[in-house]
Amino acid sequence: MSRIGKKAVPVPSGVTASVEGQTVKVKGPKGALQFVVPDEITVKMENGSIKVDPRSETKRARSMWGTSRTLVSNLMTGVTKGFEDKLEINGVGYRAAVQGKNLQLALGYSHDVVYPIPEGIAIVTPKPTEIVITGTDKQRVGQVAAEIRAFRGPEPYKGKGVKYAGEFIFRKEGKKK
């Protein structure tokens, strides 16, 4: 039994939600999102909240039950508060700047890395060594953060590179004489 899946997802005030077949559509102050629930799951509106239940007791249905409920919950959070990821840049000469619709990254390569900012995502650089990614879709915010981090992931010897804020980098000792 999924303990998460049993809970209904409340629809906050200022948000309109509708269920049409397997599609959940949510519209709020920060935008509109939709999610297609897998066929193994039934979804319905009840008393101002969205209820998610498995159609059968198969392993896939039970595993998708809690996942679907959480994804519907993320829609509600996205259109009300939104999601945010912070990245930190460590290294001499490493920096980031937003120029128009592009993120310009100097990461120790012979050239600057230019990352085009996708639609629905906002990127700001409060400091040259800090990147803040915001948006309504949790999956897209996380994907953009992962793509930017992948340009120069943190290395274990000096800790140089792009890392998530609060991420612990396991440090290694250098070679000895």
What pLDDT digit, counting tens, does each position of 18-33 carry?
899 889 999 999 989 9
User: If pLDDT is split at 50, 70 and 90, which confidence band does 1 have?
Assistant: low
Q: What is the CATH number of domain 3-80?
A: 3.90.930.12
CA distances from 85 to 94, 131, 167 (A): 19, 8, 12
- pLDDT higher than 70, residue 4: yes
| Dihedral pair phi/psi, residue 103, rounded to 5° | -105, 120
- pLDDT higher than 80, residue 173: yes
Residue 177: what pLDDT?
80
Strand order in the sheet with 130-135: 121-124, 130-135, 83-90, 161-164
Average pLDDT over residues 132-152: 95
Strand order in the sheet with 49-54: 9-10, 49-54, 41-46
- pLDDT higher than 90, residue 48: no
Average pLDDT over residues 66-87: 93
User: If pLDDT is split at 50, 70 and 90, which confidence band does 176 have?
Assistant: confident
What does pTM read for this prediction?
A: 0.87
- pLDDT higher than 80, residue 2: no
Give span(s): CATH 3.90.930.12, the chain. 3-80, 83-164
Average pLDDT over residues 77-92: 93
Q: Which CATH superfamily is domain 83-164 in?
A: Ribosomal protein L6 (3.90.930.12)
CA–CA distance, 70 with 81 (Å, rounded to integer):
16
The mean pLDDT of the chain is: 92
Average pLDDT over residues 71-95: 93
* Proportion of the chain above pLDDT 90, given as a percent: 74
